[in-house]
Structure 1
């Protein structure tokens, strides 16, 4: 049975869902700083490194498709507990991995855990959204992942540079944190009515309510452009900074990822009161301009210019996601929230993973810089398409479809 909220319940449940989201994304970005070190130790070629990165994405996608909406049926708490414990196990395996096979298994399990956690935690934030703060869930569902990416990457980089046992610190802290999440989630009430899960409920689901499809389609190019950029920076950023931009420490690479995420947080906060249409148009424009600037910075081999360009890209990445959530979530029923978020994240993580595999195949042919230029050009085109599509759909289109505003 659903739980009964006290005056403190929304705040506690919302905070727990947000903290767990940040941790989940920190666990996704922190290992990326260890990739060059692991590649040297195990003698991995570039495509093997990107495969380790990408396997996380594809198991995550499988979990999103088959299990992304399961918390709408059995409740949020058991799903958060199971996902958190599985993520803790995967991090221990990654920590002690001594072969490419073990790395692939560890990242596959991590993707499975993240695939059931991400839509569940997103829906949980919406469940506990304070009534006095409309759109808070959309904002923090955008900011939380970016804070996690920045925290995981920058913390791992600093520990790699200044401690003798960085893996113990990074993975040990994350493992303990996820065990705590698994335990403390039971202190929040269950707001979802449990129903019997049939085998048909576990079929792949990739659908949103019909009245939202046009708006989602308009936002898809920007989501793809933003998450593709994010994936490329996480998979190849450390090597790019070291070989092409003169970065001599792990912190140089961590700063690039942090700049991407922090700029997204700042832009989302500054634009949160604007309409969904305005936010989306800004996002697409920033992604295009920032990507062009980053290609120019690479050509000049300028690290400061590259960080500045990445910040512009990051502001577009964060606001693209916010614009889509601000459009969809106010018009999504409680029984559809996890399913809709699973669709959004499926699109996002396909864009996150596929370009990294393509990049791994292209690097030996085009060099690292050449690969980033080619894929950057694709991202610019997608951003321009997103600008045109979203400009043609005013916010009042959605208002007419459900009788409310976006």
Structure 2
């Protein structure tokens, strides 16, 4: 009994460290407008600054995604916290665009180091038989941390002094506490190997996985693209079109999408893996439709509903996608297939978001958003129809 309590305490502390790191990746979201005023750059630049993060994540996933299996969980997570701290310092020193690019790249590196290693670490810290609850802790820490970042920064920027400094100073303090916790927690990798054994992971897609992978990848791409647009340009839309200048409200709207994603991922256990992917596609389509309505009629309530519905759809779709491709993959190719899925997903955070930035100047933010929505809706509709046809042709197991 005491061992179980200790295990759950360690599991929760590991989840707290995970959440602190992920919060740093979305911390600048409600502050981009302030940086625009300070440094005088365009909406396109905002989207490029945001998208640099995805390149950092993809680079780590491809080059060192399996590093924690070799050198241990704690060294990799400590390196991730180091990158997060360096990112915060870059934003504190931001007197030009170069600092913002460096800060976002370091933030992407921290997320890439944490995403896989921290998830496995939380599961390994849990007592025997607690895999289901530990999965909940890891999911809540990941998406909940992403949601807490804009909520924290928006609240501090609105109601406290030094809006471009205090959020990052607070985050640095949280990182220092997290590093202390990590040094106290036990290492779970028993047989460690030297760093020279870490090899780049080449994305792979065996022929038998392709039919399952295509709709899963499309749904993941669209879900992450929706999150990318919410976290990069929604504060500007709220300010320019809806006259919502309250940074706390902007942060809350973005946070809602991530919290809804957590709820969607947790709902997969009830609706079943086979149903979750087509239902997630439906949720994403509905979220995109609500966002289109918000852009067309300038209604805040539709933005909020879009965040909630689209976020829930993203959670359902992405967890369903992960489960589907993992089940279809041969054991000796599973890691490479999942890495490929993550690369596609994080491409969704970068490429469409930059496209919105490119179109914002000639078409305006609303026009660029509607073009984005039309493209994403066509993609997710295609995936949804294909999945429904497959679902009708196969037995459904809850």
Q: TM-score, normalised to structure 2's length?
A: 0.89
The match for 2:381 among 362, 381, 384 is: 384
* Number of residues of Structure 1 aligned to a counterpart in Structure 2: 396
| Superposed counterparts of 1:301-312, under 5 Å | 301-312=298-309
Quick check: 53-62 or 232-241, which moved more? 53-62
Residues 267-323 of structure 1 show CA distances to partners (whole Å, capped at 9, x for unaligned) of 333443221111112110010012112201221111112211221111111111221
Residue of structure 2 in register with 1:361 after alignment: 358
Matched, 1:176 2:173: yes
1:34-45 alignment runs, 5 A limit = 34-45=31-42
Would the alpha carbon gap of residues 112 and 338 (structure 1) be closer, same or farther in structure 2, given more than 3 Å must change?
A: farther
Contact 2:72/2:187 (CA < 8 Å) preserved in 1?
no
- Does the 8 A contact of 1:68 with 1:339 survive in 2? no
1:14 to 5, 11, 15: 11
Q: Alpha-carbon deviation of 1:252? A: 2.7
Give deviations 1:120-142, integer Å, cap 9, x for gaps.
11222343455534544554444
Q: Would you say 1:28 and 2:21 are equivalent positions?
A: no
Where does residue 191 of structure 1 map in the other structure? 189
In structure 1, list runs of 5 or more residues that go unmatched. Answer: 400-404
Structure-2 separation of matches of 1:212 and 1:12: 39
**What does 1:255-266 align with in structure 2 at a 5 Å threshold?**
255-266=252-263
Structure 1 residues 208, 396: CA separation in 2 closer, same or farther (over 3 Å shift)?
A: farther
Cα distance in 2 between the residues matched to 1:145 and 1:162: 26
Correspondence for 1:118: 115
Q: CA deviation at 1:48?
A: 1.8
Aligned to 2:162: 165
Assess if the C-alpha contact under 8 Å between 1:52 and 1:104 holds in 2.
yes
Distance 2:380 2:208 in 1: 24
Residue 99 of structure 1 is matched in structure 2 by: 96
| RMSD of equivalent CA atoms | 3.1
Q: Secondary structure at the match of 2:28?
A: helix
Secondary structure, in 3 states, of the residue corresponding to 1:272? Answer: helix
Does the Cα contact within 8 Å between 1:135 and 1:326 map onto a contact in 2?
no
Deviation at 1:363, TM superposition (A): 0.5
Aligned counterparts of 2:65 and 2:332: Cα–Cα separation in 1: 13
Could you tell me whether the CA contact under 8 Å between 2:208 and 2:328 is conserved in 1?
no
Mapping 1:1-80, distance limit 5 Å: 6-8=3-5, 10-80=7-77
**What residue number does 1:149 align with?**
146
Q: In the TM superposition, what is the alpha-carbon distance from 1:212 to its structure 2 partner?
A: 5.4
Instruction: Report the equivalent of 1:277.
Output: 274
Change in 2 beyond 3 A, CA 1:12/1:283: same
Q: 1:102 to 1:58 in 2, by over 3 A?
A: same
Q: Does 1:219 align with 2:232?
A: no
C-alpha contact 1:83 1:114 (8 A) present in aligned 2: yes
Question: Is 2:246 the partner of 1:246?
Answer: no
Post-superposition CA distance 1:227-265 (Å, at most 9, x none): 000001111011011111231311231232122122223
1:237 maps to 234
**Alpha carbons 1:146, 1:318 under 8 Å: kept:** no
Shift in alpha-carbon separation, 1:345–1:138, aligned structure 2, 3 A: farther
In 2: Cα distance, 1:396 partner to 1:127 partner: 38
CA displacement at 1:354 relative to structure 2: 1.3
On the 8 A contact 2:26/2:231 being kept in 1, the answer is yes
The separation in 2 between residues aligned to 1:41 and 1:230, in whole angstroms, is: 25
1:272-351 mapped onto 2 (5 Å cutoff): 272-327=269-324, 342-351=339-348
Map Cα deviations across residues 97-116 of structure 1 (whole Å, 9 max, x no partner).
11111221222222222211
Once residues 336 and 35 of structure 1 are traced to their aligned partners in structure 2, the CA distance between those partners, rounded to angstroms, is 40
